[in-house]
Amino acid sequence: MGITNFQIVLDSPSGAYYAGQNVTGKVLLTLDKPKKVRALIIKFQGIAKVSWSETDSVRQNDGNTRNETVTYTAEEEYFSNKYNLAGGGNSELELPAGDLVYPFSTSLPPLLPSSFEGEHGYVRYTVKATLDRPWKFDQDSKSVFTVVTPVDLNFNARAKEPVKKELAKTFCCCWCKSGPLTLVVMLPFSGFVPGQSIPLTIEVDNVSNVEVERIKCILSKKLTFKAREPRNKERSDTAEVIKLSMEGVEPNGSKSWTQQLTIPIMPPCNLDQCSIIHCEYELKVIAEVGGMHSNLQADIPIFIGTVPVMQVQPAPSSFPDPASISQPSAPLLPNDQNNGPPAAPAVGFTVHPGPTEGNLYPTIPPSLLAGGDQAPMILPDGDKNPTAPA
């Protein structure tokens, strides 16, 4: 049989590392008899890929058109490092029978996008050990590790600024024009970390003759994927992260709310160093009106980081205990009428500005490792199980 165990074990308990940190671990190899190899090679790589397919109409030479499936792709590499753990050159090396251990280490560049998994693209970091065997197929063992590039919101001037958005509109019916509907949304700042609550102050002054049926607050996440082959093309997908609803406002009435919109626990999404995947968050506050009239909507960019704005109390350099997260102070309506944000799960993870004494690695639950949208892990070259020997 020869090889009975061939695996990669990382020193980080969660398999997560900060950008700029050393990735360390060991290759474990168990042989039931001596084996000749050319080399045991270790390779580290960080890449991003996007891919999706669309059906396009293509005009043929005879003037007719036909539908054709076009796959749009792009790829970029952030770092790659390969060296021999044993052997090398033109000579062969005989590995003895038994349990063998080969330590490895490589330094990550300081500027890297965080690991990300999405439906149409990913940023992924892998380490692969290869047994280069003479006159036989090579054998591989591959593992994925997570890279976290912290986002300190205190270095983002826009994230620290107070926000006040005021919008107004009137409604027309035949030759009549109503009084204005005014919507005011205020935030003390716009930078938050997962598990934190967004403190909202909302004021609605409805001097019109049209009923405001409900007020909706929606935090959404927009992902943009950029392809380069066979030509430049973009696609964007938007998903709701969390939402809540409040009761409406009668004609010639006014109401105000002080609300807490709790951001769920989710992985860091720092893609500043990635040019083919972009991630942004937006808070929408919508005054939904009846009849055929259009709604009044305030759109506010939200910045999600890993280190909270210092003026927040408490302001630790990690995510707060979800049990301490404050609950909304206004009554919520079930589903689209009465459904508020779910309670934050009893999990969290700690991301410091970088390695610190006693906190060498990011602490991330397994369900959130190397994940953005939690897409299935399909590795390059078709490897579906990154930890199993090839």
**Per-residue pLDDT, 179:** 84
Check residue 233 and give its pLDDT: 95
CA 321 vs CA 127, 155, 288: distances in Å: 33, 24, 34
* CA of residue 150 relative to chain centroid, distance: 13
pLDDT of residue 390: 34
The string of pLDDT tens digits covering residues 319-351 is 344 333 333 333 333 334 344 333 333 223 455
Q: Would you say residue 239 has pLDDT above 50?
A: yes
Q: What's the confidence (pLDDT) of residue 382?
A: 44
Q: Is the per-residue pLDDT at 99 higher than 80?
A: yes
Q: What's the longest Cα–Cα distance across the chain?
A: 94
pLDDT score of 344: 31
Residues 6+ apart with CB under 8 A from 385: none
**Topology of the domain comprising 3-56+68-148:** Immunoglobulin-like (2.60.40)
Please give the mean pLDDT across all residues of the chain: 82
In angstroms, the CA 5 to CA 346 distance is: 36
- pLDDT digits over 142-198, tens only? 999 999 999 999 999 999 999 999 999 988 765 666 789 999 999 999 999 999 999
Radius of gyration of the chain (CA): 27
Q: Where in the chain is the domain with CATH 2.60.40.640?
A: 3-56+68-148, 153-304
If phi > 0 it is left, if psi is from -120 to 50 it is alpha, else beta; for residue 7 that is beta
- The Cα 327–Cα 364 span in angstroms is 24
pLDDT of 249 higher than 60: yes
Residue 383 CB coordination number (10 Å): 17
Confidence at residue 343, expressed as pLDDT on a 0 to 100 scale: 33
End-to-end CA distance of the chain: 14
- The structure tokens 């059906």 sit at 55
Distance CA 307, CA 311 (A): 12
pLDDT digits (tens, 9 = 90+) for 199-237: 999 999 999 889 999 999 999 999 999 999 999 999 999
Distances (CA, A) of 116 to 9, 62, 98: 21, 45, 38
- Torsional sign, CA 51, 53, 54, 60: positive
Q: How far is CA 18 from the centre of its chain?
A: 15
The tens digit of pLDDT for each residue in 277-288 reads 999 999 999 999
CA distances from 23 to 15, 19, 271 (A): 9, 10, 20
Choices 2.60.120.200, 3.40.50.1950, 2.60.40.640, 3.30.1380.10: CATH for 153-304: 2.60.40.640
* Helices and strands (DSSP H and E) totals, the chain: 2, 22
